[in-house]
Every structure is written in C-alpha cells, then in structure tokens.
Chain A
Amino acid sequence: QVTLRESGPAVVKPTQTLTLTCTFSGFSLSTGAMCVSWLRQSPGKALEWLARIDWDDDKYYNTSLKTRLSISKDTSKNQVVLTLANMDPVDTATYYCARICRFSSVHWGQGTLVIVSS
C-alpha cells in the first residue's frame, strides 16, 4: 500500500526558507521510473505543481519558481525534502507531496497547510 505524508512548519515568517519533508512507504525511490512531486494549492486557487525528483536523481522545477526551489531525496529514509526560499504571504498554501509518475498508479498525501505571516 502506497502512502505519503507531509511534515513541516505550520507558520513561517516572510523572507524565511520553508523546508518540508515527504515521508513515503509502499515504494522505493531507488526503483526505476519512480518519482515524487511536490504541489501546492493556495486558498481558493487551482492546484500548482512545484517540483519533481526521479529515482535517478533527476530534478525538475516549476518554471516560475525554480530560482527559489530545491528538491532532494534520502532513499534510505524514504524521504523527499523540498525547500522554498524567500517566503512571501502569497506562498500561503496547502502543500502536498505525491507520486505521479508514468507507468505507476497515482497517490497523494493529505497535505500540510503553511501560513506565511510575521
């Protein structure tokens, strides 16, 4: 059974760097064709894909946010970490991690709300 769970701070201050951890089970990021993405949804807005890391450590970023984003993995811990620098109130959103890869079924975590406020 595939599960993913997001963890991280509920509140960050403007200009700070957000660090979120996705802990997953039921698959391994050392297996070919596996991947993990981070996504977010601001209140009342559409879903937005942020970044993806593949089993071979290839990394992909949202074009609009790529200068602020970093994604990494710890295969031994089954974790993927996302950092988003220079947080702003417009970054207030629910952040999700998900396995959305070709050749496998799609699974999402339940999300974690991050509020940017001084």
Chain B
Amino acid sequence: DIQMTQSPSTLSASVGDRVTITCRASQSISNWLAWYQQKPGKAPKVLIYKASTLESGVPARFSGSGSGTEFTLTISSLQPDDFATYYCQQYKNDLYTFGQGTNLEIK
C-alpha cells in the first residue's frame, strides 16, 4: 500500500496568515491526490482534486500543487472559517490511502 505522510500534524496560525500543509507519498502517485477539509461532526469537504484542481465553489485562497511524491496545500490568507482538520488522499493506486490529518487551530 502507498503510505501518505502529512505534516505538520497540528498547525497553530492566526487569521490572515499564509499556511502550507505538506503531504508525501511513499511512491509516485503522479497527480492523483485530493485534499479535504473536515469540521467536527461533518463529512469531509473536497477542496482540491488531481493535486491542483480547485473544486467548484471553493475559495481561491486555497491552492494545491505538486506531483510525484510531494504535494502541498496552501491557504493564502487564513479566514476564521478555515480552522478545521485537513486530509490528503491518494487515488493513483487501486488501494486508496489517506494522510493522518493536520489540525489547523487558532493561535
């Protein structure tokens, strides 16, 4: 199975900050990577798919980049609604796998 390693596991930041979350795959996944935002008690919300394609309706302050084994999710200017848990997921391999999550909290 492809292992997905997300960092950091916790990130403390302030409104207006630029933040980056990294996801590394144990082998190349080309660009078959999705990023999700999840709030307590809610289903994951897809932000980015195919590594850099912004889901319809997602604010442009979210962006994704990378290919192969290293990927990043960037939020250009944090808004109060952005404090949540973020997950990456690969779907290149037939057996999908997730990162362990990044808890983005208010500093």
Contact residues of A with B, CB < 8 Å? Answer: 37, 46-49, 52, 60-63, 96, 100-102, 105-111
Task: Please give, as numbers and ranges, the residues of chain B lying within 8 Å of A108 by CB-CB distance.
Answer: 43-46
Verify B55–A102 contact, CB threshold 8 A: no
A113 to B82, CA, bound (A): 25
Verify B94–A111 contact, CB threshold 8 A: no
Contact residues of B with A, CB < 8 Å? Answer: 1, 32, 34, 36, 38, 43-46, 49, 55-56, 87, 89, 91-92, 94-101
Q: Tell me which of A46, A47, A52, A109 contacts B94 (CB under 8 A).
A: A52
Verify B43–A63 contact, CB threshold 8 A: no
Task: Please give, as numbers and ranges, the residues of chain A lying within 8 Å of B43 by CB-CB distance.
Answer: 96, 108-111
Task: Please give, as numbers and ranges, the residues of chain B lying within 8 Å of A107 by CB-CB distance.
Answer: 46
Task: Please give, as numbers and ranges, the residues of chain B lying within 8 Å of A49 by CB-CB distance.
Answer: 89, 95-98
Q: Tell me which of B56, B87, B91 contacts A47 (CB under 8 A).
A: B87
